[in-house]
Amino acid sequence: MASSNNNTIGVDNTFRKKFDTEEFKERAREREKKESDRSKSRPKGPPVQRAPLKHRDYHVDLESRLGKTQVVTPVAPLSQQAGYFCRVCECVVKDSANYLDHINGKKHQRALGMSMRVERSSLEQVQERFEVLKKRKTPGTFTEQDLDERIRKQQEDEEELKRQRREKKKEKKKAKVVEEEPEMDPEVAEMMGFGGFGSSKKS
Q: What DSSP string runs through 28-97?
A: HHHHHHHHHHHHHHS---PPP-PEEE----S----STTTT------TTS-GGGSSSEEETTTTEEESSHH
Give me the pLDDT at residue 195, please. 57
Give me the pLDDT at residue 5, please. 54
User: What's this model's pTM, rounded to 2 decimal places?
Assistant: 0.40
Q: How far apart, in whole angstroms, are the C-alpha atoms of residue 148 and residue 156?
A: 12
Give me the pLDDT at residue 41, please. 64
Give me the pLDDT at residue 159, please. 92
**Judging by DSSP bridges, how do beta strands 84-86 and 51-53 pair with one another?**
unpaired
Mean pLDDT of 6-27: 70
Mean of all residue pLDDT scores within the chain: 77
Give me the pLDDT at residue 193, please. 67
Percent of the chain topping pLDDT 90: 9
198 sits in the region (left: phi over 0; alpha: psi -120 to 50; else beta) called left
DSSP character at residue 16: S
Query: pLDDT band at residue 25, thresholds of 50, 70 and 90?
Result: confident
Distances (CA, A) of 67 to 62, 70, 99: 11, 10, 18
Q: How far apart, in whole angstroms, are the C-alpha atoms of residue 188 and residue 196?
A: 13
Contact by Cβ (8 Å): 109, 56: no
Q: Would you say residue 101 has pLDDT above 80?
A: yes
